[in-house]
Amino acid sequence: MVLTKVMTIQLFSTLEEELRQLGKVSHESNFRKFLDHEHEQKRIGDIFVRINEARVRFEVRTMTLCSSVSSQCHFYVARAGCKSL
């Protein structure tokens, strides 16, 4: 369960930082609305890419953890002499 807590903290940490960056872009964009629109779009796009990458890492780690727990359950069920859960 410690691993799950670490994974969740990592996901929320990434989300918090990237949302902070979006807020920063929002405040800055009020001053430069027409000056550098393409650069601003790229920054926002990059933020969402990092959020998506954090989500994918969280999902993969969670699925790996679930698979490991499932394997352990099957092992102990078999060890106990049961045919299935």
Task: Match 């779009």 to its residue by tokens.
Answer: 41
Report the pLDDT value the prediction gives residue 46, as an integer from 0 to 100. Answer: 92
Residue 33's Cβ-count burial label (10 Å; 0-12, 13-18, 19+) is exposed
Residue range 29-64, pLDDT digits in tens: 666 665 567 777 888 889 999 999 999 998 898 888
Q: Model confidence at 85, in pLDDT bands (50, 70, 90)?
A: low
The token duo for 66 is 């679930």
At residue 50, the pLDDT reads: 92
**Which pLDDT value is given to residue 33?**
63
Q: Looking up tokens 């964009």, which residue turns up?
A: 29
What's the CA gap between 9 and 13, in Å, rounded?
Answer: 6
Q: What is the widest separation between alpha-carbon atoms in the chain? A: 71
